[in-house]
Structures are given as C-alpha cells and as structure tokens.
C-alpha cells in the first residue's frame, strides 16, 4: 500500500505539499502528470490533471525520491501545489480514487522511517519536538536530538553493558579453568561507573526545564509590589495589582521566554500572618511553590523590614528591593552585588538590569550545554528501571551471589536502555511514541 497526506498546514498559503510514500508512488505521479516521473531528487515543473477526465487542476513542482534514499526509505514523491483550499481538496480527492493509495495515519511517514532503520525512537521524538518547539533553546535541543546525539549516548551505554555482560559470561563459563582471575571484578567496576553516569544524567534538570519551563517564584511580604513586578515582566495584567494587603490569594503564573529558555513566573500570596482560611491556604501554597522553584525572586520594598527567613535565600536566587523611587536601600550584608537589585516598577528604574540578570541566570543554568539532556518521561522511566537493575546486580555481586544472577541484572538493564532508542521492542513502543504526531509528518 502507498500512503499520502497533506504535509503542510491546511488553509491558504503560497504552496502546499502533498507527500506520497510506497511502491506505487512513481506510477501515480506518472498518471497525475501524464509524463515520466522526474529524475530522482530533481524538481520538475508539471501540470497535475485528473486522470479520469484529463481536466488540469494545477501546475507545480514535483519531486521523486527513489528508495532507499528517502525520508521513509521507500519510494516517495512530493507534490508542491498552490496552497489553496479548493486545489488541495481537489488533488486529495483525485488521490483518494487510486485503489493503491490510502491516507497516511498521524506520524506514519516518520514511523516508516523508524521501522526502516533510518532513525531511532529518540530521533523520531525529536522530530515532534522540533515542530512543537516554541523557543530557540527548545529548537536547538530538538535539532541536536534529531541529529542523533541523545540516541548515541544511550546506545553507547547499551553497548558498554553488552561488553561487560560478555566478559562476565566468559568468566562464568570458564570459572573452573586456568584463566587469570578477577575479570568479573574489573567488569563490575565498569558497571558501577556506568550506574553513576546514568544516575547523574537522570538528576540533570536541563531537559525538564527546557520542556516545561524554568520555575521562578516571586516571594515577599504583602504590598511590596510582587504583582507589579510580575505584570511588568509579563507585559500584561496577569495578577491583580492592589493597594490593599493580601489580594493575591493564589498562585498566579505567566509563561515567558528568558535567554531562549521557556520560563514560568509565579506570583505567590504575600507571606505573612494570614487572616482567613483561604488566605492561609494561599500562604501554604506560596511556601511550597517557592521552596520547589528553580529560582526565587525575593521581593521587598523601600522602608520594609528586611525579608523574614520564611523561604531561605538559595544560591542562584535574586533579591529585589522595589519602590526605589521613594528612597534608596543599602545592600544587605551577605548578598553579592550580582544578586541584589534596586528597582522601581512605578518608574521602570533598574528593570532592564533585573531582566538582563534573569536572562543570564536562566541561560547559564538551564540553557543548552555540551552534553545532551534527558528530555522525556519515557526515557527517564527506562533509565530508572535500568539503574535499579544495575544497582541490584552490583549488590548481588558484592554479597557473593552467583554471577549468573548478576548477568541477568545486566541483561535487564540493557533491555531497558535499549527500549529508549528502540534497539529492542521497537514494535511495542511505536504506538506510544507516535501518539502525539500530526498527519503528514
């Protein structure tokens, strides 16, 4: 069966691209154009007609990709037609009449690419991430993963384990013969290193920050201007600014991009002796949120007593004194100049410096680094399972349990890691990976 789909968004546009993949591709292109299909990978201008009536529909570029040199590894074609609703409908209707053709399922082109070994599962996931990327850092990370950086890391680990397993099995097999002893021990040392490497990778939060946004909590006493700071940074009225204390009763969040990284800015209820139950709940949430956030923006104001230590100032936090238009406040002792900002939301004084500091901080701590980062829960779960198996294997080995059982643990870990790229179990994982794909991809 040959599949087809509109691969550009529906609606009006300069051009629309319809893709075909499968063994009948060439024949269908020839029937639509009434000419021999173009040379592989060479664009040719063709008139597309209804093969039943001979009626011309549109003219456009036609590209043919010969198997296996295509995205799916099958014969493929791209029809670049004018991006009009009626034109697209008309061509799709014509295609639907070919008995050799059927519409593609969501993500089916990429799915074929995986099945035919052109990319692994992490690369397919990166194709979806690439399309969904809304910030530059997300897009860069997705591109790197699409080029195979993450898959190579995991496949490298799997191969290391395969080698360790082979050595261990040799050790088991020839245990009674005159082999230099201690091979098993050397292998276990390597496994221990790998286990730590995996654990460090799981703890590295950059992938999560890139996917879900860096959490920044704005905290401070009522009326110091927390809502005002949030509104200024968000450029819109997300929190109600009021002169009465305790108006922000819940957590108000806005999403923004800092240093190319998505961030979620949360204004929390004023931390103070809360009045009613709702307000107390607000304070509880504020404290929880603030403690768990990636960065805390501690806000106080001119004339206010220094921040109470309800939420500790942690490394990487920023301390802001607002209402600088009313008077200046000296930097509290123990704070670095780089962590202290005097601002006035009212006049805008000091705001550019604060924004620059936030940008740099987010980019330096949560932006891209050389090492590829963990990007999906699916990967995290598999790595955690793999890590558990390695840990168990090492414990068994050190307590003198038979090496066969240790080998079985290594095998289990290998299998879990292999599931990330699809080196094992690819068929059973396809539905999970391609659940969120759009048609035509």
Rounded Cα distance, 95 and 3, in Å: 10
Q: What is the dihedral of CA 192, 195, 197, 201, to 10 degrees?
A: -170
Task: Count interface residues toward ligand GDP (CB under 6 A).
Answer: 19
Out of 22, 107, 151, 222, name the contact with ligand GDP by CB under 6 A. Answer: 222
Out of 344, 389, 406, 441, name the contact with ligand GDP by CB under 6 A. Answer: 344
Residue 300, interface with ligand GDP (CB under 6 A)? no
Out of 91, 112, 133, 224, name the contact with ligand GDP by CB under 6 A. Answer: 224
Q: Is 233 helix (H, G, I), strand (E, B) or coil?
A: helix
Identity of the residue, 345 or 420, whose beta carbon is nearer to ligand GDP in the bound complex: 345
363 and 259 Cβ atoms separated by less than 8 Å: yes
250: left (phi over 0), alpha (psi -120 to 50) or beta: beta
Out of 228, 268, 307, 421, name the contact with ligand GDP by CB under 6 A. Answer: 228
| Smallest distance from ligand GDP to CB 364, Å | 28
| Smallest distance from ligand GDP to CB 270, Å | 5
**How far from 166 is each of 13, 161, 172, CA to CA, in Å?**
57, 8, 10
**How far from 181 is each of 173, 174, 337, 343, 350, CA to CA, in Å?**
13, 10, 59, 69, 68
Residue 352, interface with ligand GDP (CB under 6 A)? no
Residue 275, interface with ligand GDP (CB under 6 A)? no
Residue 298, interface with ligand GDP (CB under 6 A)? no
Rounded Cα distance, 330 and 407, in Å: 63
Identity of the residue, 110 or 248, whose beta carbon is nearer to ligand GDP in the bound complex: 248
| Smallest distance from ligand GDP to CB 136, Å | 31
Residue 325, interface with ligand GDP (CB under 6 A)? yes
| Smallest distance from ligand GDP to CB 330, Å | 18
Distance, C-alpha 432 to centroid of its chain: 16
Q: Classify residue 348 as exposed, middle or buried by CB count within 10 Å of its CB (0-12, 13-18, 19+).
A: exposed
Identity of the residue, 95 or 218, whose beta carbon is nearer to ligand GDP in the bound complex: 218
Identity of the residue, 4 or 319, whose beta carbon is nearer to ligand GDP in the bound complex: 319
Contact residues for ligand GDP, defined by CB under 6 A: 222-228, 241-243, 248, 270, 322-323, 325-326, 344-346
């Amino acid at each position: 069966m040959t599949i087809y789909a509109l691969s550009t968004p529906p609606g009006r546009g300069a051009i629309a691209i319809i893709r075909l993949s499968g063994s009948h591709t060439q024949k269908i292109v020839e029937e639509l154009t009434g000419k021999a299909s173009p040379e592989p990978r060479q664009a040719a201008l063709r008139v597309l007609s209804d093969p039943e009536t001979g009626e011309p529909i549109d003219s456009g570029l036609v590209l043919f990709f010969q198997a296996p040199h295509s995205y799916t590894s099958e014969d493929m074609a791209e029809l670049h037609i004018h991006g009009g609703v009626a034109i697209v409908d008309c061509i799709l209707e014509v295609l639907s009449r070919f008995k050799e053709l059927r519409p593609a399922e969501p993500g089916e082109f990429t799915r074929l690419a995986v099945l035919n070994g052109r990319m692994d599962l992490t690369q397919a996931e990166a194709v979806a991430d690439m399309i969904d990327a809304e910030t530059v850092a997300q897009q860069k990370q997705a591109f790197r993963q699409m080029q195979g950086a993450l898959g190579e890391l995991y496949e490298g680990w799997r191969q290391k384990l395969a080698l360790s397993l082979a050595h261990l099995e040799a050790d088991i097999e020839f245990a009674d013969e005159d082999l230099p002893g201690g091979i098993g021990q050397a292998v276990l040392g390597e496994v221990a290193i790998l286990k730590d490497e995996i654990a460090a990778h799981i703890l590295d939060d950059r992938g999560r920050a890139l996917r879900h946004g860096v959490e920044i909590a704005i905290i401070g006493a009522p009326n110091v201007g927390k809502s005002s700071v949030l509104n200024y940074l968000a450029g819109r009225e997300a929190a109600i600014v009021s002169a009465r204390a305790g108006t922000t009763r819940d957590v108000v969040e806005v999403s923004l991009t800092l240093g190319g990284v998505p961030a979620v800015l949360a204004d929390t209820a004023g931390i103070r002796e809360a009045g009613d139950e709702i307000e107390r709940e607000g304070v509880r949430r504020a404290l929880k949120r603030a403690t768990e956030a990636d960065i805390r923006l501690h806000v106080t104001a001119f004339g206010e007593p220094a921040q109470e230590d309800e939420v500790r100032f942690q490394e990487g936090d920023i301390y802001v004194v607002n209402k600088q238009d009313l008077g200046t406040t000296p930097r509290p002792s123990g704070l670095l100049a780089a962590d202290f900002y005097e601002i006035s939301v009212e006049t805008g004084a000091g705001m550019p410096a604060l924004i620059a500091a936030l940008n740099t901080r987010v980019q330096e701590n949560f932006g891209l680094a050389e090492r590829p980062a963990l990007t999906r829960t699916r990967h995290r779960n598999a790595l955690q399972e793999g890590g558990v198996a390695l840990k168990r294997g090492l414990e068994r080995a050190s307590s003198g349990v038979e090496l066969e059982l240790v080998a079985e643990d290594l095998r289990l870990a290998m299998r879990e890691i292999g599931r990330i790229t699809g080196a094992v179990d690819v068929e059973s994982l396809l539905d999970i990976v391609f659940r969120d794909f759009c048609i035509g991809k």
